[in-house]
């Protein structure tokens, strides 16, 4: 299996790449952080050039399993969001995954098999005050996954979205620092009173690409320590 994990240099992406078996390919902006992998592509998915470069890489390496993990979080009142931020987050969190899927699908169709997993967010499920741009991009990813699951089902290709809550990563910690609440206050609102560990997300990915999960497609799976269950 040829598996591509975008944003594999740290956090959730690294946990996924390190826990899967097969020919692992990954990408990122910092080559130093990717040198532990045999196969990697240096690119910036917030740019058209970076998207196209990774698209070519996908076709050249005949990717069977695509895991769209790369993304960024922004916490800001709506009136302070500029056009450049809108373009950056939308391209990285939504446009890039869709473009990469478009480049991976032709080969998957010839094989009558493929697995696509998008890393969303519970912010795209519930919405998050102060993170409307991030929530919008992740909500769009969830909707696209459902539509594509229908479009690709007859070809043996499944596509699902995993929506993490607060995750114990550098991005999770920085996101907490940017919010108006302390990390302790955030944890107090989580039913399990903890952040999710990246390995838990990797475990869900491992299941979704397995033969046991061949009937699971178009699903939006919340992995959030109970945060989406209500009060």
Per residue in 134-169, pLDDT tens? 999 999 999 999 999 999 999 999 999 999 998 988
Residue 22 lies in a domain: yes
- The whole-number average pLDDT for the span 4-15 is 95
User: Which pLDDT tens digit goes with each residue over 69-110?
Assistant: 999 998 899 999 999 999 999 999 999 999 999 999 999 999
Kindly state the tokens that stand for 5: 């994990």
In a domain, 177, yes or no: no
* Domain-embedded: residue 96: yes
pLDDT of residue 231: 58
3-state class of 183 per DSSP?
A: helix
Residue 171 has pLDDT above 90, yes or no: no
Does the pLDDT value for residue 56 go beyond 80?
Answer: yes
Residue 32 pLDDT grade (very low, low, confident, very high; cuts 50, 70, 90): very high
Domain residue limits at 94 = 2-165+197-225
CATH number at residue 17: 3.40.50.720
- Which residues, 6 or more positions from 124, have their beta carbon under 8 angstroms from its beta carbon? 135, 136, 137, 138, 139, 140, 141, 142, 163
Q: Give first-to-last CA distance, the chain, whole Å.
A: 42
Active site residues per annotation: 134
Q: Which residue did the predictor score with more confidence, 169 or 170?
A: 169
Its pTM stands at 0.92
Residue 146 lies in a domain: yes
Q: What length does the chain have? A: 231
**Is the residue at 185 inside a domain?**
no
Sign of the four-CA dihedral 177, 180, 185, 189: negative
Q: Using the predicted structure, report yes or no on whether residue 186 has a pLDDT greater than 90.
A: no
> Average pLDDT of the chain?
93
Query: Strands 23-28 and 2-5, how do they pair?
Result: parallel
Asked whether residue 222 carries a pLDDT value surpassing 80, the answer given is yes
Please check whether residue 179 lies inside any domain of the structure.
no
Residue 172 counted as domain residue: no
The total of structural domains in the chain comes to 1
* Confidence bin at 180 (pLDDT 50/70/90): low
pLDDT value at position 116? 98
CA pair distance 31, 107, nearest whole angstrom: 27
């Amino acid at each position: 299996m040829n598996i591509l994990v975008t944003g594999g240099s740290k956090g959730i992406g690294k946990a996924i790449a390190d826990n899967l078996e097969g020919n692992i390919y990954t990408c990122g902006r910092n080559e130093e952080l990717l040198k532990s992998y045999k196969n990697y592509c240096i690119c910036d998915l917030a740019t058209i050039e970076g998207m196209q470069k990774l698209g070519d890489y996908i076709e050249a390496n005949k990717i069977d399993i695509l895991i769209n993990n790369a993304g960024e979080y922004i916490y800001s009142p709506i009136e302070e969001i500029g056009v450049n931020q809108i373009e950056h987050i939308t391209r990285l969190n939504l446009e890039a995954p869709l473009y990469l899927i478009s480049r991976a699908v032709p080969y998957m169709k010839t094989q009558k098999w493929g697995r696509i997993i998008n890393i969303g967010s519970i912010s795209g499920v519930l919405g998050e005050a102060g993170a409307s741009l991030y929530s919008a991009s992740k909500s769009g990813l969830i909707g696209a996954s459902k539509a594509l699951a229908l479009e690709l089902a007859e070809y043996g290709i499944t596509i699902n979205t995993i929506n993490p809550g607060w995750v114990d990563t550098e991005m999770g910690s920085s996101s907490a620092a940017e919010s108006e609440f302390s990390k302790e206050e955030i944890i107090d609102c989580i039913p399990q009173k903890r952040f999710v560990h990246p390995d838990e997300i990797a475990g869900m990915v491992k299941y979704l690409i397995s033969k046991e999960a061949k009937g699971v497609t178009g699903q939006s799976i919340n992995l959030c320590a109970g945060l989406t269950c209500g009060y």
